[in-house]
Copies of this chain bind each other. A is one copy, B any other.
Amino acid sequence: MNPPPTAKRVSRLSDEITLQLERWITEQQLSSGTQLPTEKVLCERFGVSRAVIREAISRLKADGCVTTRQGSGAFVAARPGQGSFRLVRGLEHSPPILSDEMSDIFELRYLVETGAAERAALRRTAKDLDRMRDVLGRMQDALAAQADAVGDDDAFHVAIAAATHNSQIERFQAFMGGQFSDSRAPTWSSDGHRSGRAREAQAEHVRIFEAISRGNAGAARRAAEAHLVSAARRLGLDPLRWGGDKTESTR
């Protein structure tokens, strides 16, 4: 039983089928509620066992693309893509994120995070400030010890988002932060310490914290804007096109 030379055996068979199924659904422009082929039919069409088909459908279910009803069949969900949002397209698109893509993601983060800082300044409690102070202190220690503080950097931004008391914003910030963990590494690397990138980032953090602590929403937003623009520059991105604040009219 030699499988057709379609697959190069580079990865899991179920991954391949998942991708093909997803593509097939979107290409066919299947409207919500349409029933898709039975598992048996799909088995024959793709030439795989039912386990693989079920695995693929299971993932689409988790993605929110399809729903299944026992005894009835599988159907396209209300909105394809509803239920969850993923930044990087595809299933295993990990290694190379293009600079344009990264820039786009960063801009989305910019929109949310600046607004979050603004709102955090208005709603933060003493507890929120304590949490931020803690993380800030840990980063200060790391700065003195020239150590790595990527995790704390992430935690600081999440702490800001948490101070909005909007759990959705907090979760989104945590989600976005996770995507940027790798990107923050250069700032806290030994080279980052030497070149002053770490100190620079920390100074920006302090400025955001102080604005939020004072309850000055406008200042908090501007400090967050400045920090994100600097962070983008440290990553080699071009934040000019974001032009949300100062460079607005010049275009």
A111 at the interface (CB under 8 A from B): yes
A26 at the interface (CB under 8 A from B): no
Question: Interface stretch among A81-89, A130-138, A230-238?
Answer: A81-89
Find out whether the CB atom of A85 lies under 8 angstroms from the CB atom of B84. yes
A39 at the interface (CB under 8 A from B): no
CA distance A83 to B168 in the complex (A): 16
Find out whether the CB atom of B171 lies under 8 angstroms from the CB atom of A244. no
Contact partners of A169 in chain B: CB under 8 A: 104, 107-108, 111
Find out whether the CB atom of B122 lies under 8 angstroms from the CB atom of A243. yes
Contact partners of A59 in chain B: CB under 8 A: 58-59, 61-62
> A238: shortest Cβ distance to chain B, in Å?
13
CA distance A91 to B84 in the complex (A): 10
Which of A115, A181, A242 has the most C-beta atoms of chain B within 10 angstroms of its own C-beta? Answer: A115
A55 at the interface (CB under 8 A from B): yes
In the complex, chain A residues 64-94 whose Cβ is within 8 Å of any chain B Cβ: 64, 70, 78-79, 81-88, 91
Please tell me the number of chain A residues within 8 Å of chain B, measured between CB atoms.
Answer: 61
Which B-chain residue is minimally distant from A55 (CB atoms)?
Answer: B58
Contact partners of A171 in chain B: CB under 8 A: 81, 85
Offer 20 A-B interface pairs, CB within 8 angstroms, sorted by A.
A12-B70, A51-B51, A54-B55, A59-B61, A81-B171, A81-B175, A84-B84, A84-B85, A84-B86, A85-B171, A107-B169, A108-B166, A111-B116, A115-B115, A118-B244, A119-B242, A119-B244, A218-B248, A218-B249, A218-B250
Apart from the given pairs A83-B88, A118-B244, A221-B250, 10 other A-B contacts in the complex at a CB distance below 8 Å: A51-B51, A58-B59, A62-B91, A79-B181, A81-B175, A84-B86, A85-B86, A104-B166, A104-B168, A108-B166
Contacts from A to B (Cβ < 8 Å): 11-12, 14, 51, 54-55, 58-59, 61-64, 70, 78-79, 81-88, 91, 101, 104-105, 107-108, 110-112, 115-116, 118-119, 122-123, 166-169, 171-172, 174-175, 178-179, 181, 217-218, 221, 241-244, 247-251
